């Protein structure tokens, strides 16, 4: 973690615990947040409007990242088992093992931008290298989780990878659905872009000592990105759900404006 930022004494005065409580409506909203975009992408693909379908698929993947990101920190308001199974389901829909990503993401919080931080491997690259690194990134995350993860993590990772194999096999050889084939291909491409969009964008030009990440203050950008880029706020208080990060941002601006305005989208 970035020493000077994470241990700033002013952070003790920031109220954040109340933001961790979600209402039933909040929980339902988080569970369904990606569904409209998935349905829209399927519908557009069915009518072969692939240009527009790609936009809907991008938004679905963004919302899916929000869901699993909150699940990594058990911050959706479900039971612990509920969070685990949500990651399992999204592993199939988005491809890959979300428990493998969770393992690396929690290490990212403990060792932000340090050598042990495998998740942030693309952060120190130029943007074009981060894009080229994309196909390697998911492989690296899965390999690290299977090498260094606990037995529990490894069981989930193997289960999710097996589920992926079964799901992709059914799509390609049984269902005979062009829409599902489109979805699998697009999700594969999206996974190859996460090193750039989910990591490089929020950590490039940051350093271990002072800047732990970038944040956002433009309201329009915040709305269209579903609050996913309040990244400094997330690192400072990782158990605060994404839907409450904009509130946390206002509180931090009052107490520690220098920490949250140095690197802004």
Q: Convert the pLDDT of each residue in 133-166 to its tens digit.
A: 999 999 999 999 999 999 999 999 999 999 999 9
Alpha helices in 73-224 (DSSP H): 80-94, 98-110, 127-132, 136-148, 151-170, 178-194, 201-203, 219-224
Query: How confident is the model at residue 1, as a pLDDT?
Result: 43
Residue 121 clears pLDDT 50, i.e. is over it = yes
DSSP letter at 264 equals B
Residue 231 clears pLDDT 70, i.e. is over it = yes
Q: What is the pTM of this model?
A: 0.93
Residue 215, beta-bridge partner list: 264
**Model confidence at 230, in pLDDT bands (50, 70, 90)?**
very high
């Amino acid at each position: 973690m970035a020493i000077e930022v994470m241990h700033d004494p002013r952070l003790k005065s920031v109220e954040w615990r109340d933001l961790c409580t979600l209402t039933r409506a909040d929980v339902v909203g988080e569970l369904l947040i990606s569904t409209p975009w998935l349905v829209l992408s399927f519908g557009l693909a069915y009518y072969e409007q692939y240009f527009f379908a790609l936009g809907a698929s991008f938004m679905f993947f963004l919302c899916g990242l929000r869901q699993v990101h909150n699940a990594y920190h058990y911050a959706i308001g479900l039971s612990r088992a509920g969070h685990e199974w949500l990651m399992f389901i999204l592993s199939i829909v988005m491809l890959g093992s979300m428990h493998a990503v969770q393992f690396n993401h929690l290490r990212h919080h403990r060792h932000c931008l340090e050598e042990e931080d495998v998740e942030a491997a693309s952060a120190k690259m130029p943007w074009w290298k981060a894009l080229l690194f994309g196909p390697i990134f998911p492989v690296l995350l899965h390999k690290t989780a299977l090498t260094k993860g606990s037995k529990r993590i490894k069981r989930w990772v193997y289960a999710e990878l097996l589920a992926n194999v079964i799901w992709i096999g059914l799509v390609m050889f049984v269902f005979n659905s062009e829409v599902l084939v489109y979805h699998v291909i697009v999700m594969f491409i999206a996974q190859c872009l996460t090193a750039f969009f989910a990591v490089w964008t929020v950590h490039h030009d940051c350093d271990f000592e002072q800047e732990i990440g970038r944040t956002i203050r433009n309201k329009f950008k915040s709305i269209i990105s579903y609050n996913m880029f309040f990244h400094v706020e997330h690192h400072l208080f990782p158990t605060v759900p994404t839907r409450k990060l904009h509130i946390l941002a206002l509180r931090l601006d009052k107490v520690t404006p220098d920490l949250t305005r140095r690197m802004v989208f």
